[in-house]
Amino acid sequence: MHKVNSISKREQCIIAKATGSRILRTVLVASATVYRIHHESSMNVNARDAHGEPCTPSLRLLSDIKQGQHPHLLIRLIRDATSHGYDSHVLQLHGHVIKSGLGWNSFVSAALLRFYVRIDLLKDACELFDEIPEPSLVSWNTLISGHVQLGEFHQALILFIELGRSGTHPDAYSLTAALNACGQLRFLRLGWSIHSRIIKDGVASNIFISNCLIDMYGKCMSLGESIQIFKGMPFKDNISWNSVIAACSRNQKLKQALAFFHEMHAPDTISYNEVITGISQFGDIAQACHMLSVMPFPNSSSWNSIITGCVNRDRAGEAMVVFVRMHSEGWQLDQFTFSSILSGIASLAALPWGMMIHCCTIKHCLDAVVVVGTALVDMYSKCGDVLSAESIFWSLPKTNLISWNAIISGFARAGNFNKLIFFYSQLLMRKDLNPDGITFLNILSGCSHCAMPLEVALMYFRSMMEDYGIRPNEEHCCSMVQVMGQHGEIWRALRMIHELGFTSSVSVWRALLGACEACRNTETAEIAASKLIELGLDEDYIYVTMSNIYASQEKWKDVNKVRKLMIFNGVRKGPGYSWIDM
């Protein structure tokens, strides 16, 4: 960290907003008046200003604040304005902080950091943080936890590592924020490293940290360590019990989850909800509904768990039945209810149902909430109504990266590459958002659907890696294989699979086999088919595709060989199905 001697353009802009602001003057006068009530007796009432006029304590205090004195009052003002949502007031106060030279005060800076994190302006928060000469641990924790809260888990861990290198010792808040990020990303090795540091620092007995360790190991699919930590805790609260139940449920160990649940002295609503979530995701939906019926104090989250479980298991019809029952029994429908059910409807492409749910969101005044609005954009896109999806997107007062990915995906699916690139360019103009792997997957998918030139797809593929440091995954590779197949570049696709290290991926070899069928490349198709069988995928798709490729080349002997091999291996072509909307 280094001290900035000159005022940046961003600071000049903030100062310009604050200079001459009647609101700022009003706020400062009010604070001075309040301060006078408590401290006037200790101040010199005979003091005079530069012109020899009597100077009241309030006016003198106002002058002191403007000159950078009494930073604790500014901190209080910033905190109060932040908690009440007076964003413009805080920006004006920030301008005053810069003018008065109070940026060095770690407590003032920490209060401003909390404000920028609260309004989701992480870039501004990071810029402010970089301008602090010697950031306090409070400032570090505010920035790290802010990134975790907003889903920026990678950056949160980078900041945590920088905290350690800065010489500032992390505390319980730093450690738990880092553990949370590790759990979300399933970074087990880093989780182990942080756990080792916790033991070394002698804070493993901290119940708050222990609960986070249970949660982290559970999310990293290391259930044994979660249970070991839980059993080694000298004192356990309900959060400890709920964390280990959630860990068991997440790892599909429903019997263990139920055993811990029944062992609890007084299970609370969260305990029931964790068990219901596990059963809904991996067990019997009927059993989850029964548990809901015997639950002492169910809430909307209990119902949402069942709806989400049905949707995640491709049982959207059952999710709709639960939703209707929840509505008819008078339970509060919240943003998570609507986002889950809309996701299920999107998977069915059932537009009439989606329109009905859309009406419900309007009735409950939740259609403009970012989670629900994004789900509506996704639903209309997957149902083929991209015009409605676009209209809803622009009507949202606030959007996040998921919202942008949803609309970009919709136009990729619709084959409208011009609109797709328009929204991508608009996303790049957002200083608080950066495209991620899903964004580029949608663009590459659009290149495939729209039969764009190979060089266009390669341009975005390279940009993803070079400009944003995103490592391609199997889905990116599959999309590029499809595009290369459309342009007859099968050998190039095969070379890319080896270069990217996806030679053990079933989905990538399936994509290559499909690309070979599109351009009738028999030689590479045989390589892809043999790799799929070698990887254990012995299904009708391979034989049918190879038969079609040979037939397109009029290699009838090879067609007969494939059919005989299919019979010999006991593989049968599955029946086809069609969905008819009555």
Residue 420 lies in a domain: no
351 vs 39: which has the higher pLDDT: 351
- Note the pLDDT of residue 45: 44
C-beta of residue 451 within 8 angstroms of C-beta of residue 445 = no
Tell me what percent of the residues of the chain surpass a pLDDT of 90.
63
- Note the pLDDT of residue 121: 75
- Note the pLDDT of residue 48: 47
Residue 326 lies in a domain: no
Picking from 120, 171, 121, 172, the residue whose alpha carbon sits closest to that of residue 14 is 121
Amino acid at 182: C
Task: Estimate to the nearest angstrom the gap between the alpha carbon of 24 and the chain centroid.
Answer: 36
What are the distances in angstroms from CA 324 to CA 305, 314, 341? 15, 18, 10
Query: What is the tens place of the pLDDT at every residue in 305-363?
Result: 999 999 999 999 999 999 999 999 999 999 999 999 999 999 999 999 999 999 999 99
118 band by pLDDT with thresholds 50, 70 and 90:
confident
Query: What is the tens place of the pLDDT at every residue in 54-96?
Result: 444 434 444 554 544 555 666 666 666 556 565 555 566 655 5
Task: Estimate to the nearest angstrom the gap between the alpha carbon of 154 and the chain centroid.
Answer: 11
C-beta of residue 209 within 8 angstroms of C-beta of residue 203 = yes
Total structural domains in the chain? 1
pTM over 0.85: no
Picking from 528, 524, 463, the residue whose alpha carbon sits closest to that of residue 502 is 528
Residue 222 lies in a domain: no
- Note the pLDDT of residue 576: 55
- Point out the least confidently predicted range of 95-99, 195-199, 225-229: 95-99
What are the distances in angstroms from CA 233 to CA 192, 206, 227, 259, 266? 18, 9, 10, 18, 18
Read off the DSSP letter of residue 249: H
C-beta of residue 478 within 8 angstroms of C-beta of residue 507 = yes
125 vs 65: which has the higher pLDDT: 125
SS3 category, 253: coil
Residue 494 parent element (H or E): helix 490-500
Query: What is the tens place of the pLDDT at every residue in 143-182?
Result: 999 999 988 899 999 999 999 999 889 999 999 999 999 9
C-beta of residue 1 within 8 angstroms of C-beta of residue 166 = yes
Give the whole-angstrom CA distance, residue 193 versus residue 106. Answer: 29
Report the pLDDT averaged over residues 127-154. Answer: 88
Residue 60 lies in a domain: yes
User: Residue written as tokens 């100062």?
Assistant: 15
363-370 long-range contacts, CB within 8 A, separation 24+: 364/333, 364/338, 366/333, 366/334, 366/335, 366/338, 367/392, 368/395, 368/396, 368/397, 369/335, 370/396, 370/398, 370/399, 370/400, 370/403
The pLDDT of residue 44 is above 90: no
Residue 42 lies in a domain: yes
Residue 126 lies in a domain: yes
Range of the domain at 118: 1-133
What are the distances in angstroms from CA 551 to CA 381, 556, 563, 575, 579? 37, 6, 12, 21, 29
The pLDDT of residue 7 is above 50: no
Residue 93 lies in a domain: yes
Give the whole-angstrom CA distance, residue 246 versus residue 134. Answer: 40
Query: What is the tens place of the pLDDT at every residue in 398-419?
Result: 999 999 999 999 999 999 999 9
Residue 300 lies in a domain: no
Picking from 379, 253, 254, 403, the residue whose alpha carbon sits closest to that of residue 316 is 379
C-beta of residue 144 within 8 angstroms of C-beta of residue 174 = yes
